Structure 1
Amino acid sequence: MPALPTDTPTLTGDLVELRPVTAPDVVRLHALMRDPEVGRLTGSVHDDAEPTGDPWTVEQLQEVYARWADDTDRVVWAVVDLGTGQVAGEAVLLDHDPDNASIGFRIWLGGARDRGLGTEATRLAVGHAFDVLGLHRVELEVYAFNPRARRVYEKVGFVLEGTKREALRYADGWVDCHVMGMLAQDWRRRRDRGSPAPGTTPPPPAR
């Protein structure tokens, strides 16, 4: 299987749009990264008192996103809340393994929770991985202290495959990391049962 194309597509659903990250988007993403909950749930910090978003400056982060845009092992999107027109976070397919037709997934949102945005953004990204890129497997990791995200992933179709025990040190304790995965056949079964990807029109019933 060849490397991933570098032209990131725009995917539009009912609640969110996934589109390539622009330099102005990074200003917004940098601000959202400073949300303490984003830092904790993504494992970017290891204590409630640890500064979130440091040591990156906006300019350094813009360089990172510009470099990612040219990478052939990932697809990086800004998640846009269509209700407000604001960037709400990022969604990424990463660590493409062409020999095994697999890829990883991560997503984070700041200040836009409990509205179904993460569920739809995850479905859009996973649908792109399977239906457009033709991959066989998508996997992700979620920390045990983030059950809300795990419920989102299960709703989309990911299943628990294992647990990395005490993988993250946080404050004075340790946190397990759950490994979840979905296969192309899992996605097709859910899609064919009548749950089309957001932003698409279901096929007409057979006559």
Structure 2
Amino acid sequence: MYLENGNLVIRNATAGDAQTLCNWWNDGKVMAHAGFPNGIGTTVQDILDKLQTDTDRNRLLILEIDGVPVGEMNYRTVVDNVAEIGIKICDFNQQEKGSGTTFLTVLISFLFMEMGYHKINLDTNVKNTRAQHVYEKIGFRKIAVHIDSWKNQLGELQSSIDYELTREEYVKTLQQDK
């Protein structure tokens, strides 16, 4: 996959990205919102092995701005025509500039219009209000809130929100924005 929108690119992660991904995923500041304030403790080899399992239905992606990797996305098929996605802008200097919304919109459009998915799911930590704002602006609906449903690495109870967006809802949102 190679999707471009101006100076923003979403592309397949490759073996050449393994060290960067390893650095991001082992950085507790980057991974704290996902419940890993100490990082996930992965290795470059673990990531290389993961990349070997990527297919058109389950893929790890790199986000670039002006040719520089700034984050990662992924999608996976949970059941026929339903995908689950995730995104992290790992370069803190690139956060809160609107690029996350654009990256999400580009991937969502591709998954709905080119890949034929009918629904996209995602979740986020209740504390991640910035992400919630972005998801809801794009058209995602809250479908469940899980209070104190899991613990992070430090043993602290965490809560999460499940979201979903159907292709029909997304197309309607696009038409309203015109």
TM-score (norm 2): 0.89
- The partner residue of 1:38 within 27, 30, 42 is 30
Tell me the equivalent position of 1:145: 127
- The partner residue of 1:190 within 155, 168, 173 is 173
Identity across matched positions, percent: 18
SS of residue in 1 equivalent to 2:53: helix
| Higher normalized helix content (fraction of residues) | 2
Contact kept, 8 Å, 1:15 with 1:120, in 2: the verdict is no
1:74 deviation in Å? 1.2
Query: Using a 3 Å threshold, how does the CA distance of structure 1 residues 72 and 133 change in structure 2: closer, same or farther?
Result: closer
1:96 deviation in Å? 3.5
> What count of residue pairs does the alignment treat as equivalent?
175
Cα RMSD (Å) of the superposition? 1.8
Rg (Cα) greater in structure: 1
Structure 2: runs of 5+ lacking an equivalent: none
Structure 1: runs of 5+ lacking an equivalent: 1-8, 196-207
Is the aligned partner of 1:52 residue 2:46?
no
Counterpart-to-counterpart distance in 2, 1:124 and 1:24: 23
- Deviations along 1:62-105, one digit per CA (max 9) or x if unpaired, are 1211222xx353132111122xx21112111113311xx21111
TM-score (norm 1): 0.77
Contact kept, 8 Å, 1:140 with 1:179, in 2: the verdict is yes
- Deviations along 1:103-126, one digit per CA (max 9) or x if unpaired, are 111111212211112111111111
SS of residue in 2 equivalent to 1:193: helix
Counterpart-to-counterpart distance in 2, 1:42 and 1:172: 13
Tell me the equivalent position of 2:164: 181
Query: Using a 3 Å threshold, how does the CA distance of structure 1 residues 72 and 131 change in structure 2: closer, same or farther?
Result: closer
1:169 deviation in Å? 1.1
- Deviations along 1:26-79, one digit per CA (max 9) or x if unpaired, are 211211223322221122x2xx4xx3141x2212211211222xx353132111
Counterpart-to-counterpart distance in 1, 2:166 and 2:177: 18
Counterpart-to-counterpart distance in 1, 2:177 and 2:88: 27
The within-5 A match list for 1:1-207 is: 9-43=1-35, 45=36, 48=37, 51-54=38-41, 56-68=42-54, 71=55, 73-82=57-66, 85-98=67-80, 101-111=81-91, 112-170=94-152, 171=154, 173-194=156-177
| Higher normalized strand content (fraction of residues) | 2
Q: Which stretches of structure 1, 4 residues or longer, exceed 3 Å deviation after superposition? A: 170-173
